[in-house]
Amino acid sequence: MPERDLVIRNLTKRFAAAGGDVVAVDSVSFQVRATEFFTMLGPSGCGKTTTLRMIAGLESASAGSIVFAGRDFTSVPAQQRNIGMVFQSYALFPHLTIFENVAYGLRLRRIPAAELKPRIEKILDLLQLGALAGRHPADLSGGQQQRVSIARALVYDPGMLLLDEPLANLDAKLRVLMREEIRRIQRRLGIMSLYVTHDQEEAMSVSDRLAVFNLGRLMQLGTPQEVYAAPASLFVADFIGKANFFPARLAGRVGAGARVALAGGAEIATPRAMPLGAEEAPRIPAGCDAMLMVRPAAIGLDARAGDVSCRIGRVQFLGGIIRYTATADAALGEVTIDAQRPVDGVGEGAAAWLRLAAADAIVYLAAGRA
């Protein structure tokens, strides 16, 4: 139902700073569907928190608009937006029980006592905290404390849930458990959720769609699969998953794809070619600079023959995969190869060949010529 969507248009935030204004969020536009789990992903300082705070009403917008369920939020005070927020720091009251921590906001809103108890019990049960209602925060683990802060955000029955790096203080194993827990609750309640993280694996695993940010700008928006399979820029290719880049020169066009020549002579034809600038890919002439992107799993290793010769540096056993790190000849740089099983005759220090699976590679084209 589009009428329940969140619609962000040209949202901009400038902070005054000593050396001139900082543009923390630079004309960002996106739309979040009513029951969607939507993630803003990007490196530290790219404007994720500032965007979330403007949506929550904790920060004013310098320009642009925020419309939620048909209502213009841009100048609605934070407390009237009916938004639940969860932060990295749990910010629980140490002297109050779990029950009272969750009750606090409801009491402030003068919810009648008779209504209070069933509402809190329901939300504590949903978060599997029912048995802990009488305890104090100090008696809870980090994961349990974060559950309480989620319960506190949800007990108002908010129209949307905003989560700013909620798992950053937890250890790796608990982070994985908690992200699944958050996803389960979000699905159960069908609540629009905006999630902020710098962790691409976390973003990929929980999101319906994600928006990749860099330097205050929205770089790409799509499902995790779309963004992983077809990153629209070198930045996104590098940030989402692991990527190998090989400098190349455009040799010719093949339908929607391209044939490129790598330094050292190898020619690779890929089915996909994307422009890096505003120029349309088909208009970029042969001879221009290109960058070939190949995921680690799309490179094979062979002791005898292949596209590019290399020397193996490290071989790491990472459980399900074996990760080879190699230095490609002809100054093509460091390469990461993920194999399902060890490759015969290719150990640390060995000379070997890379086979680039062209069907899974993408060529990025720059209009310029080096």
Ligand X SMILES: Nc1ncnc2c1ncn2[C@@H]1O[C@H](COP(=O)(O)OP(=O)(O)O)[C@@H](O)[C@H]1O
Q: Are 40 and 34 in contact (CB under 8 A)?
A: no
Which residue in the set 10, 15, 255, 345 belongs to the binding site for ligand X (CB under 6 A)?
Answer: 15
User: Is residue 168 close enough to count as binding ligand X by CB under 6 A?
Assistant: no
Token pair of 272 as six digits: 């996909």
Provide, rounded to whole angstroms, the least separation between the CB of residue 60 and Mg ion.
Answer: 18
Helix (H) or strand (E) holding 200: helix 200-206
- For 6, the token pair is 């969140």
| Residue whose tokens read 């140490």 | 94
Determine what percent of the chain falls in helix, strand and coil, rounding each to the nearest 5: 30, 35, 35
Does 179 bind ligand X (CB under 6 A)? Our answer is no
Comparing CB distances to Mg ion, the nearer of 24 and 292 is 24
Site string for ligand X, 49-88 (x = CB under 6 A): xx--------------------------------------
| Helix (H) / strand (E) containing 306 | none
Nearer Cβ to Mg ion (12/35)? 12
Judged by beta carbon, residue 45 or residue 64, the one nearer ligand X is 45
CA–CA distance, 212 with 200 (Å, rounded to integer)? 9
Write down the least CB distance from residue 229 to ligand X, Å: 25
Number of residues lying near ligand X (CB under 6 A): 12
> Quick check: 24 binds ligand X (CB under 6 A)?
yes
Q: Does the protein bind ligand X through residue 46 (CB under 6 A)?
A: yes
Closer of 12 and 144 to ligand X (Cβ): 12
Structure tokens at 315: 């071989």
Residue type (1 letter), 39: T
Is 130 an interacting residue with respect to ligand X (CB under 6 A)? Answer: no
The one among 6, 8, 36, 48 contacting ligand X by CB under 6 A? 48
Q: How far is Cα 122 from Cα 292, in angstroms, rounded to an integer?
A: 53
Measured N-to-C along each axis, helices 172-189 and 142-154 cross at an angle, to the nearest 10 degrees, of 20
Select 91 or 359, whichever has its Cβ closest to ligand X: 91
The site map against ligand X for 92-121 (x = CB under 6 A) is ------------------------------
Q: Render the burial of 327-364: b for 16+ CB within 10 Å, e for the rest.
A: ebeeebeebbbbbeeebeebeeebebbbebebebbbbb
With CB under 5 to 8 Å by kind, the binding choice for 24 among Mg ion, ligand X, none is: ligand X
- Binders of ligand X in range 204-233 (CB under 6 A): none
Q: Which of 1, 20, 44, 341 binds ligand X (CB under 6 A)?
A: 44
Binding flag, residue 39, ligand X (CB under 6 A) = no
Residues 6 or more apart in contact with residue 112 via CB below 8 angstroms: none
**Which residues are 192's β-sheet partners?**
160
Q: Establish if 19 lies at the interface with ligand X (CB under 6 A).
A: no
Residue 262 partner contact from Mg ion, ligand X, none using kind-dependent CB cut-offs of 5 to 8 Å = none
Pull the structure tokens for residue 94: 């140490």
- Kindly indicate which of the ranges 41-49, 126-134, 258-266, 350-358 contains the residues binding ligand X, using the contact rule CB under 6 A: 41-49
Nearer to ligand X, 50 or 200 (CB): 50
Contact between 314 and 363 under an 8 Å Cβ cutoff? The reply is no
**Residues with Cβ within 8 Å of residue 214, at least 6 apart in sequence:** 42, 43, 46, 235, 239
241 binds ligand X (CB under 6 A): no
Residues that bind ligand X (CB under 6 A): 15, 17, 22, 24, 42, 44-50
